[in-house]
């Protein structure tokens, strides 16, 4: 086997790229460590639904065609959707194959896997943004009596013992898990750091409709003011639910979740939390306020005011008295909803920055013929969205065509 | 010459130079490693003099333009001579100075002209802690409040955003809100 292009990962990004390459008749293979859409099949909790509404499920040549465009897909429905996508163009997927090393060789790349090695011209890294859950170093200081889970391991409240749960992180995963556990009757503490607060709907429309309509999701990597910061932005504090409910910190405290600042360490027998909680909440409130302001201005400028409901602004996050310590003996489980970190032990070191992330310019890596797809703000703000990876895949497949043309032109000159 | 140059910058903040330094330090993580040092000497009673002159950064020893010396002491109601503010008040000085420097820098970076920035910093403390009367009361502040009055060429929301960002990037705010490992040795 000597495919021209090797795509690592058969999730939404890999499949979108496969579809674009198929259209351009470029032979390729998708290498998948497990089954297609693996993370959606094996690393998501039971109740999880997409954060984006169903109509926002547009991949190159394929989109949601069900009867509930304003609903939010369950993880199992996402799996079905992606498997259907792969079938629709007969994506060449090599399952249960783990890439062990990609190295430069003979002007191309040698791809070594646990099921054989082959030579390829182009490599597309499409292993996703939610690869390895990040667990802060403080985890090592916790006693064995406290059980620890990441969102990839969490399934449902039944899995946990009766005692108090500390959920660390208040982005989408953290607030959703904290909410679910509190509803199941468990005492829940939520450690809150930087987060992006958003209402599920505003003036009668889904917040993602607004973000899409205002062009916010299409913002490009080469136009955004502070790219490094934009790429670090935590996931939106949202939940996809049939009743379109807003899940912010006020909603969490209303059902008994107790808010704490960022978890900063363990001293003796106590967990220490930052006293910066009020500022974290105030900052998130201010940013939400600015976005809703921009929405109102857009609605006014485009004559939408009559069709929309009244602008009702969410209440500021209520942070009254809060504690900065919890006794270790008062916690039975800690759930680390602290995001994901890049992990590419199979890539050459020079391709990564000092934090281990892929160095790239809009998905074009530092070595010709290598590409990264589906990373935070890869080419657009929506690069990690099921609805957003398509345009990036399209752009990069065009780049790949240009690269392959250049290589063959060079080879022909070399032959003469 | 220097004076003219300083006053020609918005709010007196040389924001381009700060951004330049930030960029340079991004590529040179070693140069960003700093160490601050205070030299303290006991005078008498609760009076101590601390001097700040040298520090380490950008890979080498650095100095302030001159040595700065501060006295700390306790007030007369604690049977002391009040040669200076209490050490715990100096912490408030640090917080006020750090947050306000942050307000000026962030505002300038956002093109906001400041006319006046005033802060009142208060710290609440139950002396039952330091005096060892009640083991359940902590020694340090039970809470700190910073109240800003800012007159600037900006909306209330923009000013609030500047103050919020200043907290996010403040070293002293971080030192107060988060635990830090402290080691005290005897030579």
Q: Which stretch of DSSP H or E encloses residue B7?
A: helix B2-7
CA–CA–CA angle A72, A75, A78 (5° rounding): 75
Tell me how close the Cα of A366 comes to any Cα of chain B, in angstroms.
17
- Provide mean pLDDT across the span A182-205: 97
On the CB side of A80, CA atoms within 13 Å amount to 8
Lowest-confidence pick of A190-194, B136-140, B159-163:
B136-140
Buried b (16+ CB within 10 A) or exposed e, A396-408: bbeebeebbeebe
| % of chain A beyond a pLDDT of 70 | 100
- DSSP assignment of B21-52 equals HHHHHHH-TTTT--EE--EEEEEETTEEEEEE
Grade residue B4 by pLDDT with cuts at 50, 70 and 90.
very low
Contact of A123 with A371, CB cutoff 8 Å: yes
Question: Does residue B178 belong to the interface with chain A, where contact is any CB pair within 8 Å?
Answer: yes
Query: What is the overall mean pLDDT for chain B?
Result: 92
Two structure tokens written together for A4 = 């021209």
User: Which of these, A317, A318, A324, A321, lies nearest to A275 by C-alpha position?
Assistant: A324
Asked whether the beta carbons of residue B173 and residue A261 sit closer than 8 angstroms, the reply is: no
- Provide mean pLDDT across the span A107-115: 95
Handedness of CA A351, A352, A358, A364 (dihedral sign): negative
The pLDDT value recorded for residue A267 is 85
Q: A37 - beta bridge partners?
A: none
What is the Cα–Cα distance from A85 to A386, expressed in whole angstroms?
12
Task: State the best of B138, B145, B164 to mutate against chain A, taking most chain A CBs within 10 Å.
Answer: B164
Name, in order, each residue with C-beta under 8 angstroms of A243's C-beta and a sequence gap of 6 or more: none
Asked whether the beta carbons of residue A279 and residue B168 sit closer than 8 angstroms, the reply is: yes
Two structure tokens written together for A220 = 């490009």
Asked whether the beta carbons of residue A279 and residue B157 sit closer than 8 angstroms, the reply is: no
What is the Cα–Cα distance from A142 to A271, expressed in whole angstroms?
9
Asked whether the beta carbons of residue B168 and residue A283 sit closer than 8 angstroms, the reply is: yes
What is the Cα–Cα distance from A188 to A329, expressed in whole angstroms?
14
What is the Cα–Cα distance from A405 to A411, expressed in whole angstroms?
10
The pLDDT value recorded for residue A416 is 54
The pLDDT value recorded for residue A415 is 62
- Predicted confidence (pLDDT) at residue A361 exceeds the cutoff of 70: yes
Task: State the best of A191, A261, A267, A275 to mutate against chain B, taking most chain B CBs within 10 Å.
Answer: A275
Quickly tell me which residue has 């921009």 as its tokens.
A294
The pLDDT value recorded for residue B5 is 45
Quickly tell me which residue has 């985890």 as its tokens.
A139
* DSSP for residue B112: P
Asked whether the beta carbons of residue A274 and residue B157 sit closer than 8 angstroms, the reply is: no
The pLDDT value recorded for residue B6 is 46
What is the Cα–Cα distance from A203 to A206, expressed in whole angstroms?
9
- Largest Cα–Cα distance in chain A? 79
- 3-state DSSP of chain A: CCCCEEEECCCHHHHHHHHHHHHCCCCEEEECCCCCCHHHHHCCCCCCECCCCHHHCEECCEECCCCCCCCCCEHHHHHHHHHHHHHHCCCCEECCCCEEEEEEECCEEEEEECCEEEEECEEEECCCCCCEECCCHHHHHCCCCCEEECCCCCCCHHHCCCCCEEEECCCHHHHHHHHHHHHCCCCEEEECCCCEECCCEECCEEHHHHHHHCCHHHCECCCCCCHHHHHHCCCEECCCCCCCCCCCHHHHHHCCCEEECCEEEEECCEEEECCCHHHHHHHHHHHHHHHHHHHHHHHHHCCCCCCCCCCCCCCCCCCCCCCCEEEHHHCCEEEECCCEECCCCCCCHHHECCCCCECEECCEECCCCEEECCCCCCCECCCCCCCCHHHHHHHHHHHHHHHHHHHHHHHHHHHC
Residues of A in contact with B173 (CB under 8 A): 276
- Provide mean pLDDT across the span A241-257: 97
Closest residue in chain A to residue B27, using alpha carbons only = A354
- Predicted confidence (pLDDT) at residue A129 exceeds the cutoff of 90: no
Question: Does residue B161 belong to the interface with chain A, where contact is any CB pair within 8 Å?
Answer: yes
Name, in order, each residue with C-beta under 8 angstroms of A308's C-beta and a sequence gap of 6 or more: A203, A204, A205, A299
The pLDDT value recorded for residue B2 is 41
Residues of B in contact with A283 (CB under 8 A): 161, 164-165, 168
Q: B49 - beta bridge partners?
A: B41, B71
What is the Cα–Cα distance from A292 to A168, expressed in whole angstroms?
28
**What angle, 0 to 180 degrees and rounded to 10, lies between the N-to-C axes of helices A277-301 and B156-168?**
140
The pLDDT value recorded for residue A1 is 82
Two structure tokens written together for A110 = 């040698």
- Predicted confidence (pLDDT) at residue B3 exceeds the cutoff of 50: no
Measure CA B103 to chain center. Answer: 12
Give A317-354 pLDDT, tens digit per residue: 999 889 999 999 999 999 999 999 889 999 999 999 98
Residues of A in contact with B19 (CB under 8 A): none
Name, in order, each residue with C-beta under 8 angstroms of B124's C-beta and a sequence gap of 6 or more: B141, B142, B143, B144, B145
- Provide mean pLDDT across the span A34-39: 91
Tell me how close the Cα of B151 comes to any Cα of chain A, in angstroms.
19
- Predicted confidence (pLDDT) at residue A384 exceeds the cutoff of 50: yes
Asked whether the beta carbons of residue B179 and residue A267 sit closer than 8 angstroms, the reply is: yes
Give A258-300 pLDDT, tens digit per residue: 999 999 999 889 999 999 999 999 999 999 999 999 999 999 9
Asked whether the beta carbons of residue B157 and residue A290 sit closer than 8 angstroms, the reply is: yes
Nearest to B167 among A261, A267, A279 (CB): A279
Two structure tokens written together for A139 = 């985890």
Asked whether the beta carbons of residue A275 and residue B179 sit closer than 8 angstroms, the reply is: no
Question: Is the pLDDT higher at A271 or at B2?
Answer: A271
Tell me how close the Cα of A75 comes to any Cα of chain B, in angstroms.
35
Q: A59 - beta bridge partners?
A: A62
Provide ipTM, 2 decimals. 0.77
Asked whether the beta carbons of residue B176 and residue A261 sit closer than 8 angstroms, the reply is: no
Q: A2 - beta bridge partners?
A: none
User: Which of these, A211, A408, A415, lies nearest to A295 by C-alpha position?
Assistant: A211
Closest residue in chain A to residue B144, using alpha carbons only = A275
Between strands A93-94 and A28-31, the pairing is parallel
Residues of B in contact with A265 (CB under 8 A): 178-179
- Chain pair A-B, CB pairs under 8 angstroms: 36
Count of Cβ atoms closer than 10 Å to residue B155 Cβ? 10
What is the Cα–Cα distance from A363 to A381, expressed in whole angstroms?
13
- Predicted confidence (pLDDT) at residue A185 exceeds the cutoff of 80: yes
Measure CA A381 to chain center. Answer: 11
- Provide mean pLDDT across the span B157-179: 95
């Amino acid at each position: 086997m000597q495919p021209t292009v090797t795509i690592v990962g058969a999730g939404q990004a890999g499949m979108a790229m496969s579809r674009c390459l198929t259209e351009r008749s470029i032979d390729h293979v998708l290498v998948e460590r497990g089954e297609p859409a693996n993370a959606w099949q094996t690393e998501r909790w039971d109740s999880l639904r997409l954060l984006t509404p169903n109509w926002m499920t547009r991949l190159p040549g394929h989109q949601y065609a069900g009867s509930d465009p304003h609903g939010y897909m369950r993880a199992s429905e996402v799996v079905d959707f992606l498997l259907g996508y792969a079938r629709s163009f007969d994506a060449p997927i090599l399952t249960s194959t783990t890439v062990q090393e990609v190295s430069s060789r003979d002007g191309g790349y040698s791809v070594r896997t646990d099921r054989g090695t082959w030579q390829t011209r182009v490599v597309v890294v499409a292993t996703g943004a939610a690869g390895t859950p990040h667990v802060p170093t403080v985890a090592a200081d916790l006693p064995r009596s406290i059980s620890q889970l990441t969102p990839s391991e969490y399934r449902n409240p039944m899995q946990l013992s009766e005692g108090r749960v500390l959920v660390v992180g208040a982005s989408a995963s953290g607030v959703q898990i904290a909410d679910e556990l509190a509803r199941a009757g468990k005492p829940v503490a939520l450690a809150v750091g930087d987060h992006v607060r958003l209402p599920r709907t505003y003036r009668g429309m889904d917040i993602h409709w607004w973000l899409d309509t205002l062009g916010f999701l299409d913002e490009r990597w080469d136009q955004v003011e502070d790219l490094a910061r934009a790429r670090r932005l935590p996931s939106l504090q949202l939940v996809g639910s049939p009743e379109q409910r807003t899940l912010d910190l006020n909603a969490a405290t209303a059902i008994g979740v107790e808010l704490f600042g960022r978890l900063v360490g363990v001293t003796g027998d106590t967990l220490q939390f930052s006293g910066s909680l009020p500022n974290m909440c105030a900052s998130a409130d201010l940013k939400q306020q600015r976005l809703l302001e921009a929405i109102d201005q857009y609605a006014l400028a485009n004559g939408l005011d009559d069709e929309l409901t009244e602008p009702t602004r969410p209440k500021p996050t209520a942070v009254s008295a809060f504690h900065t310590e919890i006794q270790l003996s008062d916690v039975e489980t800690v759930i680390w909803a602290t995001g994901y970190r890049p992990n590419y032990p199979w890539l050459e070191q020079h391709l990564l920055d000092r934090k281990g992330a892929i160095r790239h310019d809009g998905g074009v890596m530092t070595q010709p013929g290598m590409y990264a797809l589906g990373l935070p703000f890869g080419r657009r703000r929506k690069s990690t969205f099921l609805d957003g990876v398509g345009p990036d895949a399209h752009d990069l497949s065009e780049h790949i065509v240009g690269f392959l043309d250049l290589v063959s032109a060079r080879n022909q000159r070399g032959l003469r | 010459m220097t004076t003219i140059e300083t006053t020609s910058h918005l709010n007196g903040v040389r924001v381009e130079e700060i951004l330049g330094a930030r960029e340079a330090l991004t590529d040179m993580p070693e140069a960003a490693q700093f160490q601050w040092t205070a030299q303290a000497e006991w005078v008498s009673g609760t009076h101590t003099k601390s001097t700040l002159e040298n520090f380490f950064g950008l890979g080498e020893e650095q100095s302030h333009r001159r040595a700065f010396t501060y006295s700390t002491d306790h007030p007369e109601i604690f049977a002391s001579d009040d040669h200076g503010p209490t050490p715990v008040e100096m912490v408030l000085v640090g917080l006020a100075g750090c947050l306000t420097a942050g307000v000026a820098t962030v505002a300038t970076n956002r093109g906001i002209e400041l006319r006046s920035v005033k802060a009142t910093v208060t710290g609440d403390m139950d002396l039952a802690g330091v005096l060892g009367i009640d083991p359940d009361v902590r020694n340090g502040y039970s809470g700190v409040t910073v109240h800003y009055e800012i007159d600037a060429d900006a909306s209330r929301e923009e000013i609030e955003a500047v103050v919020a960002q200043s907290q996010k990037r403040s070293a002293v705010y971080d030192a107060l809100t988060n635990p830090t490992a402290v080691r005290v040795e005897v030579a």
